Structure 1
Amino acid sequence: MSYVKPTDLVRGVIDAGASKVMLSARDTLIRAIMGGAILTIAAAFAVTISVTTGSPLLGAVLFPIGFIMLYLLGYDLLTGVFVLAPLAWLDKRPGVTLGGILRNWGLVFLGNFIGAFAIAVLMAIVFTNGFATAPNAVGEAIGHIGEGRTVGYAEFGASGMLTLFVRAVLCNAMVATGVVLAMVSTNVIGKIFAMWMPIMLFFFMGFEHSIVNMFLFPSGLLLGGDFTIVDYLIWNEIPTVLGNLVGGLLFVGIPLYVTYGRPAAARTLRPSRRERALMQRAASGDSADAQGVDEPIRAGA
């Protein structure tokens, strides 16, 4: 069967986390750069669809194409390794240390940013004809997204920061689910369908994804958005990274590990008082009672 049961799935997730931590710096960076680039091309694609068709839902339905492509190729996102690497540490895999996890996160963050920023520059060129004209409709929309999701939060102060953080938590509750579901099937069609569902949900709901934002906000600045780099870092990227970390671990990684990676002892059924009395009498050698023991116990089994 192509379906991987949860217990086996968690074993696979832990194996994947250990391999990520032990990967060389060169390969970690390359895979993270490509992961960031492919995901953010898909983000540009989804925004283009939303603007040109007037249907944000259609953009959300098609956005998971990028996520699916990068995970089928084995590339990495920060939101994914936030879940995979800690589970390998909790499972005490040889060579997996907190220092190794932080190294992995740092390299993946850097690689994702390089890939996303490269796409931001390239798409800004496309949207402005090489900076020779004003941004087209899609470029203007991206600039407004950057404003609304930085200074838009700042207008509400602490309440805005709380909203931003919660959106980031909910985002990686879905994205990390997609990362895990990539391993729930052993065939490509099953993997695609399983990954598609949570990614479509997070994008349409407008949740905050740190890697997508590495594209949207630099693009917005290049395309004339009315916000600053400090606005981007304080009122989006930093809280989003922290929220993504919390959401992935709290809603996906830890629950799966606790119940399937380290399940509690199975509950055993205790015989009733009457059944215990009959068994004691049978054990004492009372043949008359012993003949009547088996049937009641079977009937109550």
Structure 2
Amino acid sequence: MYSPGEILTITIENGTKKIEKPLLAKLVLGFIGGAMISLGYLAYIRVSASIPSNLASVQAFVGASVFPIGLIVILLAGGELITGNMMAVSAAFYDRKVSVGALLLNWLTITLANVVGALFVAYFFGHLVGLTASGVYAEQVSQLAEHKIAATWVQAIVSGVGCNWFVGLALWLSYGAKDGAGKILGIWFPVMIFVAIGFQHSVANAFLIPAAIFEGAASWGDFLRNFVFVYLGNVIGGAIFVSGFYFASYKGH
């Protein structure tokens, strides 16, 4: 592992590189990022839906154990995920490597591409193929979406903070590992824990709630209200609780 100070330097370099990518690359990689996170959530549903609801902790653990494949693919094979960009690009911003305008444009571009990727998986793989359209799978999608939507705006923001604190740490540990196995382990456990706890991830919700909508179990208004507040929490979790805290600790003097 690199030291925390060295990881911060790597994070700043990676955040700067994210800004410098061509628009087409950002859109394609953002689509991949949204799709991969959504496929991780689809795997969660497929492996855990048949576990009885009175074993909720077991259901959450089993589903959470497969969810990290999405971020592993994004970070090792290539992809852009807005929650990761919230951490890495903000570190580059703190170090004055990127402007606030470039940061916001990057976040907008990757967010839109991520949502398109999430909607693609929700409709084509979930609804059209039928993987979330019937039986225990449709029931679980409906129940999970209902739980996300039922959160108050304060709960959604705070849950979003917790989520991206862990996702940001997954990136941080991945950047700090010197080999592939170390990167996978560094990603796996923080992501598994945030999912098992039940924290809310804006892009994952951009798959789950539309998947429920396609099965008649929610509305687009429900999705938009949830997305805005969870997204705000994700910004705070990644840009302040991870890159902000570490920048202040290792380079803010």
Q: Which amino acid aligns with 1:205?
A: I
Q: 221, 226, 247: which is aligned to 1:230?
A: 221
Return the alpha-carbon distance in structure 1 between the equivalents of residues 130 and 40 of structure 2.
15
CA distance in 1, matches of 2:178, 2:212: 39
Could you say which residue in structure 1 is the equivalent of 2:13?
15
Contact 1:165 1:240 in 2 (8 A): yes
Distance 1:81 1:247 in 2: 12
Q: Is the 8 A contact 1:127 1:136 kept in 2?
A: no
Q: Which has the higher helix share?
A: 2
1:236-291 CA distance string (max 9 Å, x none): 100011010011122101111111233x4xxxxxxxxxxxxxxxxxxxxxxxxxxx
Task: Tell me the amino acid that sits aligned with residue 29 of structure 2.
Answer: R
Q: Is the 8 A contact 1:178 1:195 kept in 2?
A: yes
The 1:107–1:119 alpha-carbon spacing in structure 2 relative to 1, beyond 3 Å, is same
Per the alignment, residue 203 of structure 1 pairs with 195
Distance 2:109 2:207 in 1: 18
The residue identity in structure 1 corresponding to 2:12 is I
Say which SS state the counterpart of residue 242 (structure 1) adopts: helix
Match of 1:75 in 2: 79
Structure 2 letter corresponding to 1:166: V
RMSD between aligned residues: 1.5
Q: Is the 8 A contact 1:124 1:139 kept in 2?
A: no
Contact 1:171 1:247 in 2 (8 A): yes
Q: Distance in 2 between matches of 1:9 and 1:80?
A: 15
Instruction: Report the CA distance between 1:126 and its aligned residue.
Output: 2.4
In structure 1, the residue matched to 2:41 is 43
Question: Residue 112 of structure 1 corresponds to which residue in structure 2?
Answer: 114
Structural mapping, 1:253-292, within 5 Å: 253-262=243-252, 264=253
Secondary structure of the 1:52 match is coil
How many pairs align? 246
Cα deviation digits, residues 77-97 of structure 1 (max 9, x gap): 11011111121122122xx21
Q: TM-score, normalised by structure 2?
A: 0.93
Query: Is 1:221 the counterpart of 2:223 in the alignment?
Result: no
Listed one character per residue, the Cα deviations across residues 62-111 of structure 1 (whole Å, up to 9, x for unaligned) are 21122111110131111011111121122122xx2111111100110011
Report the residue type matching 1:239 in the other structure: F
Q: Percent identity?
A: 28
Shift of 1:44: 0.6
- Equivalent residues of 2:206, 2:223 under 8 A apart: no
Q: What do the CA deviations read for 1:85-142 (whole angstroms, capped 9, x no partner)?
A: 121122122xx2111111100110011011100000121122279xxxx622112210
Alignment of 1:53-202 (within 5 A): 53-54=51-52, 55-93=59-97, 96-122=98-124, 123-127=126-130, 135-150=134-149, 152-153=150-151, 160-202=152-194
Structure having the higher Rg: 1
Alpha-carbon offset, residue 35 of structure 1: 0.8
Per the alignment, residue 5 of structure 1 pairs with 3
| Contact 1:210–1:244 (Cα < 8 Å) also in 2 | yes
Contact preservation (8 Å) 1:77, 1:108: yes
Q: Are the counterparts in 1 of residues 115 and 206 from structure 2 also a CA contact under 8 Å?
A: yes
- The answer (yes or no) to whether the contact 1:174–1:198 under 8 Å persists in 2 is yes
Opposite residue 7 of structure 1, the aligned amino acid is G
Runs in 1 of length 4+ with deviation above 3 angstroms?
A: none
State the distance in 1 between where 2:100 and 2:171 align.
21
Q: Distance in 1 between matches of 2:30 and 2:96?
A: 25
Paired position in structure 2 for 1:270: none
Are 1:34 and 2:32 counterparts? yes
Give TM-score scaled by structure 1 length. 0.78
Change (3 A) 1:98 1:239: same
Distance change in 2, residues 1:200/1:89 (3 Å):
same
Structure 2 runs not aligned, ≥5 long: 53-58
